[in-house]
A = this chain, B = another copy of it.
Amino acid sequence: MSAEETSRLSAPERREQILAAAAIVFGERGYAGGTTDAIARQAGVSQAYVVRMFGSKEKLFRASALRAADKVGHAFRDTIATFNGDEDAEQKTLALAAAYTSLVADRGILLTLLHLFALGHDDTLGPLARECFLDTYRIARDEAGLTPEEANAFFARGMLTTVMLAMRLPDDAANPYASELMSCTFGELTTDLITLSQGQVPIDTSGR
């Protein structure tokens, strides 16, 4: 992904590339901790270009968060579209959970959303956090047809999953408590998620 010697790209292509880089950097370091320079480096462009394309770091973060929430929404809707109406709640929940965990492969988006949620006290980012979260909740309730209790249990599991991935618990797979918790949370996908999580290379950290 980084250090690609791509020549000129169209603005929409660069935009997507920068947003992908932003998801990784913001996902690992959060809003305040993620620098536009680190994002630029990850995307293979100059820091000035990143700022100019999005106007400001905050606008870039907003775009990054909205893109992440959009990806979650699309993954859910794609799954819901496969329902034929005969599924019970457990089947639907399992299918949605599988869709959610598959998003781990899209590096950074789940972690960027977690950082966004954690910044709910911020005057300008807080409303965005609540909007993104409630939009997703709405999909589970109205489009997937889960009951409040089912949706609640589903989101609880989702949050635990996200936090465990943010903590890099798969790095502690040798720890019996960690491995027990992961098996219990991820089920059959545990080994897949562990290899997936450990295969993600660190972002460039050297000076400007």
Q: Are B118 and A114 in contact (CB under 8 A)?
A: yes
Asked whether, in the complex, the Cβ of A155 is within 8 Å of the Cβ of B160, the reply is yes
Q: Please determine whether B118 and A178 come into contact, CB atoms closer than 8 angstroms.
A: no
Contact of A168 among B111, B121, B141, B160 (CB under 8 A): B121
B-side contacts of A5, CB under 8 Å? none
Number of copies: 2
**Interface membership of chain A positions 153-166, coded 1 if the CB is closer than 8 angstroms to chain B and 0 otherwise:** 10111011011001
Which B residues are CB-close (under 8 A) to A137?
177, 181
Contact A30 B152 (CB under 8 A): no
Please indicate the chain B residues that have their CB under 8 angstroms from the CB of A167 in the complex: 117, 120, 126, 129-130, 133
In chain B, what residue has the closest Cβ to A115? B118
Q: Which residues of B contact A133 (CB under 8 A)?
A: 163, 167, 169
Q: Which of A27, A33, A153, A167 has the most CB of B within 10 A?
A: A167
In the complex, 27 of the A-B residue pairs with CB atoms within 8 angstroms, ordered by the A residue number, are A27-B121, A28-B122, A29-B32, A29-B121, A29-B122, A30-B30, A30-B31, A30-B33, A31-B33, A111-B118, A111-B121, A115-B118, A117-B167, A120-B166, A120-B167, A121-B166, A130-B167, A130-B169, A130-B178, A137-B181, A138-B177, A141-B177, A148-B183, A151-B184, A152-B184, A155-B160, A156-B185
